[in-house]
Structure formats: C-alpha cells, structure tokens
Structure 1
Amino acid sequence: MDATLWATIALFMFLGLIAYLGVPRMVGKSLDARADRIRADLEEARRLREEAQQLLAEYQRKRKEAEREAADIVAAARHEAEILEADARQKTEDYVTRRTALAEQKIAQAERDAVNEVRSRAVDIAVAAAGKLLADKVDAKTDATLFKSSLDDVKAKLN
C-alpha cells in the first residue's frame, strides 16, 4: 500500500468524521447566523439612515422657521423704531412750537408792560408839567378862590 492510498483513506475518514459530527451543519448555521446578523445590521443602518434624514429635514424646517421668526422680529423692531422716531419727532416739534408761542407771549407781554410804563411815566411827567405850569400861572389869590369853590362843590355833593 502506498502512501497515496493511505492519504486518500485518511482523507475519506476525516471527511466522514466531519460529516458524522455535523460540522457542515454547524458551519451552515454559523454562516446563516452571520448572514442574519449582517442583514439585521443592514436593516438597522437603513432605519438609522431614514431617522437621520427625518431629523435633518425637521431641523432644516425648524431653522427656516427660526429664520422667518427672526426676520419678523427684526421687521417688528424696525417698525416700532420708526413709530418711536416719528413720535419723538412730533413731540419735539410740539415742544418747540409751545416754547416759541410762550416766548412770543412773553415778548408781547414785555412790550405791553414797556408801553404801559412809558405811558404811565408820560402821564406822570405831563401831570407834573401841568401842575408846574398852573402853579406858575395861577397866583395865590386865584388859588384861594379855586380852593374855596372846590370845597363848596364837595360840601354840596356830600349834602
């Protein structure tokens, strides 16, 4: 017997032993389990990818909403600033108008007071001048006569 024959017999015995022990079934189960794990991992990866896409779409939608909201806030702030500016401008104009009118009234009152003061002094000066002129023209005798007639007029009015 030659070594090739013994090697062939040993090979068939080894293959028979492997078949008897069920190694091909175990290898098949192992390969099937591995294929199931790979299939499950691929399914999990596909599910996670879909969730990631949904999250991405949701975050993009939220970002757009936030951008719109920010634009609305900026527009509202600009509008409010314009209103406040117009209100401040109107109040300033009203204040200037009131202050101008008040100043004009004070100037007019000062002019009236000055005119009245001048008139009053002019009257005082005229009375003093008239008194001096009368005193110079009227002598003492006429003065006594005028006094007596004025006194009689006053007594007559009192009675």
Structure 2
Amino acid sequence: MPQLQQIDTFLSQVVWLVLAFVVLFVVLRTIALPKIQATLEARRDRIEGDLDRAQTLRQEAEQVLAEYEAAMAEGRDRAQSVIRDAVEDGKARAAKAHDALAGRLADDIRHAEARIETARDEAVGNIREVAVDVVQAASQRLIGGRIARKSAADAVDAVAGR
C-alpha cells in the first residue's frame, strides 16, 4: 500500500509542524501578544479616561446649568422688583400730581368764585345806580321835576326789598 509507505516522511512532517507551531506560539506569546495586550490596555485606559472626563464635564455642565437657572431666577425676581417699584413710584407720582392738580383747581375755583361774586356785587351795585338814575329820569318826565337822589335811592331799595 502506497499510503503506508509515506509514514516515514509523514512523521518527520508532523514533527516539523509541531516544532513550527511551538516556535510560532513562543514568538506570538513573547513578542506579538504583549504588544497587542499593551495596545488593548492603552485603548481601555483611554476609554476610561474619556468616560471619566465625560462624567466630569457632565457634572460641570449640570452645575453651570443650575447656576444659570439660579441667575435667571434671581434676574426675574430683580426685574419683578424693579417693575413693582416703578409701578408703585408711578402711582405715588400720579397721586402726588393728582393732589397738586386738585389743589390748584380748588384754588382756581375759589378765585373764580370770588371774582364772580365781586362781579355780581358790582353788577348789582351798578344796577341799583342805574335804577336810581332811571327813577330820577322817569320822575322828571312824568311829573316834570327831578326828585332828589336820596329819595330815588330809597324808592329803589323799597321796591328791591332791602
């Protein structure tokens, strides 16, 4: 059988195969695997560092967000306070202006009423004088003689009810 005749060469090939595998295994284990392992460890360390940095940045971002929200709330409160103060100040100024205007208008009304009263008194006084003159003129026409001013004034006062 020709297959069995190759056993001598087959055995030597198996030995060389095992020897090649052992050499390859030793070379890989001593040279290649440490490099691969170092690369994997470096990659793992870099990933862990990136994750740690990302966690730190996330915490910082959350802190900045909290500070921002606090600043916004404080700004809103301050703005509302300023608006409230401005409204109150505006109301106070409006009330003060209203009171001042009401005072001036009251003074103007009093002065106007006094002027009206004075003008009415003057007009009434002038009417009395005109009435006395009319009585004197009428008596002169009717009776042909002029009556005394005092008598005419007494007659006007009697008719006027004074």
Q: Same fold (TM over 0.5)?
A: yes
Aligned residue among 46, 52, 55 for 1:53: 55
Question: How far apart in 2 are the matches of 1:125 and 1:54?
Answer: 103
TM-score w.r.t. structure 1 length? 0.74
| Structure 1: unaligned runs, 5 residues or longer | 140-159
Q: Please, which of 30, 34, 37 is the counterpart of residue 35 of structure 1?
A: 37
Q: Pick the aligned partner of 2:11 from 8, 11, 16.
A: 8
Q: Which runs of 5+ in 2 are unaligned?
A: 138-145, 150-162
1 CA distance for matches of 2:126 and 2:87? 57
- 1:106 is matched with 108
Q: Deviations over 1:36-93 (max 9, x none)?
A: 1111111111111111111011000000000000000000000001001101111111
RMSD: 2.4
Corresponding residue of 2:27? 26
Q: What is the aligned counterpart of 1:93 among 92, 95, 103?
A: 95
Alpha-carbon separation, structure 2, partners of 1:17 and 1:131? 160
Matched, 1:76 2:86: no
Residues 108-153 of structure 1 deviation map (CA, whole Å, 9 limit, x = unaligned): 11111111011112222333444566783249xxxxxxxxxxxxxx
CA distance in 2, matches of 1:117, 1:32: 123
Q: Aligned pair 1:137/2:144, yes or no?
A: no
SS at match of 1:86: helix
Q: Give distance in 1, aligned partners of 2:16 and 2:67.
A: 75
User: May I ask how many residue pairs the two structures share in their alignment?
Assistant: 137
Structure 1 equivalent of residue 66 of structure 2? 64
Q: Give 3-state SS (helix, strand or coil) of 1:2's partner.
A: helix
Give the drift of 1:101: 1.8
> What secondary structure sits across from 2:53 in the alignment?
helix
SS for the counterpart of 2:58 is: helix
Task: Report deviation, 1:25.
Answer: 3.4
Measure how far apart 1:8 and its partner are: 1.9
The amino acid that maps onto 2:12 is I
